[in-house]
Structure 1
Amino acid sequence: MSTETETRPRAAAAAPADPGLPANLRRNAPLVPTDTSAGRSLAAVIAILTFLAGLCAGAAEIVASNAAQWQGSVAQEVTIQVRPGPGRDVDADLARAESIARSEPGIGEARVFSKSEAERLLEPWLGSGLDLSDLPVPRLIALRLGGGQTADLKRLRTRLTEALPGVASLDDHALWLQRLSTAAGAFVGLGIGVVVLVLVATGLAVTFATRGAMAGNREVVEVLHFVGADDDFIARSFQRRFFGLGLRGGAIGAGLAILAFALAGLLARAARSGPAGQEIEALFGTFSVGWRGYASVILIGVIASLVTGVVSRLTVRRFLA
């Protein structure tokens, strides 16, 4: 008899929930459905937005790193321009300017451009095959800073002006560096703005999805209130569910962005072997995302997940208020 009475509660506990009840009211069913078309759609939207934000962040990192390399390279070089004039020996002026530059501490190397090399520098603007012998084409001396000392460019400019007044001038590329820095900063700022807009769009999508889920589970929420559940319990349930969706979408989007950059880097390295690839690399820099770029993509995925959870909780609390 006792064995029979002990078996009955176990059988009752193991019995399935009443099949006549709705799915969202059955025993052990979650408050928010775990696998619905709306949830999968929201996860896909978050993945797409995270992917786009990751691409923007990675592109901004590429531009910033290449700009820093260009600035470092250009900052190590200055140029002396020697203009030909009537009654002057250009070669003698070049030799004197080179001598003055080499005597300055901090100048590691000086290279005098020949007349043909100076004329070739004008081909992108004037075209090739032209006879420039009658034109007063300036001659150039490229200086590379180094030698373990800091070059005093102000003193070098003064010495050149005093020795060759109106003939020699020093260009430290400061204006070009300033423009490059401004352009790189603007592009990085634009990338950050796009990332912020994508995160805002993610929050809006989560808001609408949370409101739809609340409206579809209004009866369940009322029953929970009736049995004594507070708003924090309900908000936590929705937050856990939407945080899981955001984590899934953010991981997929960040992973696809990292894969896209990895494939683009492989293709860039493969194309670098040809002459066209070398010219593109010289013009635009290397197409490689460093660890900061990959870390920013992963961080965007994490932020998208956190935004999803926080926004869903705030939306539920406002809906229940």
Structure 2
Amino acid sequence: MLDWVRATPAERRLLPGGRMQGPTPWVIAIMMFVMVVIAAAGLSLANAAGVVSRGVENRYSVQVANGAARAPAAEAALRNAPGVAAVRPVPETEMRKTLERWLGPEGAKADLPLPALIDVDLKPGVSPQAIATKVEAAVPGARFVAHSATLKPMLRAIHSLTWVAFAIVLMIALATAAAVVLAARSALAANRPTIEVMHGVGATDDQVARLFQRRIAIDSLNGGAAGALAAGVVLLVIAGGRAAWVEDVAGGPLLTFLDLVALALLPLLGTLLATLVARIAVLRALREAL
């Protein structure tokens, strides 16, 4: 495959290129910039969803309506149940502060009835149905709610946004391939006299295509590297100057090391795609011209 991009000194003089000359590398740089930013956003969303899912996997809440008097019985049932790792009653003052943020000053009034709320962590492998049965037996009417069920709509939305981001990356890659085809055909038309001379002295279509794929490969590599570098700077600015693998507010990594490697490989993958597309487009155009 290296023969596709390798050229002799004579071939370089026939069709020079590189150093961000012409519009092609700039178009590819813009495409790569958008692609890296959107791919990083998609990977961050996927990681955030994974962190949230793992964080609430074994976490539940017990809700007791008008439970100021019945909350101790529910708490005792939870502490005596096998498989319960932690029991944390939520103070009423904390609940009223939360309501005040949502409802304003009316939410902090003492005469507003509040249910008792107890956070529960279960050990891995423990049946939540068994714990719910014990709690409901001790306190009739108590609700045993999984945090994952509460956050399920949000997680579904995050997963949808992740797939949308990856779909946009794919569409940008296809748009870049189309731009490369147009650039290759334009260069082919602009250098038609040179191609006719090469054919006249016995050059094959493969030799001609190698000239153009080399130029496209250099333009793609230069433009892709410039776009990816600019995207990396923007992502660092968005992250507040921190490294991209620091922990976010959810307690999980924003971007893992493998994510960074995948983002760094995008310019190389883009170069390979552009080279292959340029070769196919040039060979097809040469055959059509015969």
Scaled by the length of structure 1, what TM-score is found? 0.77
Q: 1 CA distance for matches of 2:120 and 2:19?
A: 67
CA 1:202–1:28: 2 relative to 1, 3 Å: closer
Partner in structure 2 of residue 234 of structure 1:
208
Question: In 2, are the aligned partners of 1:77 and 1:172 still within 8 Å (CA)?
Answer: yes
Q: Answer yes or no: is the 8 Å Cα contact 1:77–1:145 preserved in 2.
A: yes
- The percent of aligned pairs where both chains have the same amino acid is 30
Instruction: Tell me the secondary structure at the aligned position of residue 97 of structure 1.
Output: helix
Equivalent in 239, 263, 278 of residue 312 of structure 1: 278
Tell me, in whole angstroms, the C-alpha distance in 1 between the residues paired with 2:65 and 2:193. 87
Equivalents in 2 of 1:245, 1:105: separation in Å?
Answer: 65
- Checking the alignment, whether the CA contact within 8 Å between 1:54 and 1:296 is kept in structure 2 is no
Q: In structure 2, what is the equivalent of residue 122 of structure 1? A: 99
Please give the alpha-carbon distance, in whole angstroms, between the structure 2 residues aligned to 1:312 and 1:131. Answer: 67
1:125–1:262 Cα change, 3 Å: closer
The CA deviation at 1:28 is 6.7
1:157 corresponds in structure 2 to: 132
Change (3 A) 1:288 1:260: farther
Q: How does 1:273-312 map to 2 (within 5 A)?
A: 282=249, 288-312=254-278
- The within-5 A match list for 1:15-34 is 30-34=13-17
Distance in 1 between the 2:97 and 2:134 partners?
29
Question: Given that residues 39 and 165 in structure 2 are in contact (C-alpha distance below 8 angstroms), is that contact kept between their aligned partners in structure 1?
Answer: yes
Q: CA shift at 1:262, angstroms?
A: 2.9
> Structure with the greater relative contact order (CA < 8 A, sep ≥ 6): 1 or 2?
2
CA RMSD of the aligned region, Å? 2.5
Q: What's the offset of the Cα at 1:31? A: 3.0
Give structure 1 stretches of 5+ with no counterpart: 1-26, 85-89, 273-280
State how 1:250-269 maps to structure 2 within 5 Å: 250-267=224-241
| Residue 131 of structure 1: how far off its partner (Å) | 5.7
User: Unaligned 5+ residue runs, structure 2?
Assistant: 1-9
Contact 1:265 1:287 in 2 (8 A): no
C-alpha distance 268-287 of structure 1, shift in aligned 2 (>3 A): farther
Pair 1:176–1:31, CA change in 2 (3 A): farther
Question: What is the CA-CA distance between 1:200 and the residue it aligns to?
Answer: 1.2
Q: Is the 8 A contact 1:32 1:237 kept in 2?
A: yes
Q: Determine the C-alpha separation between the residues in 2 that align with 1:265 and 1:244.
A: 31
Q: How many matched pairs?
A: 275
Shift of 1:48: 1.2
Tell me: CA distance 1:292–1:180, structure 2 relative to 1, closer, same or farther (3 Å): farther
Structure 1 counterpart SS, 2:105: coil
1:131–1:68 Cα change, 3 Å: closer
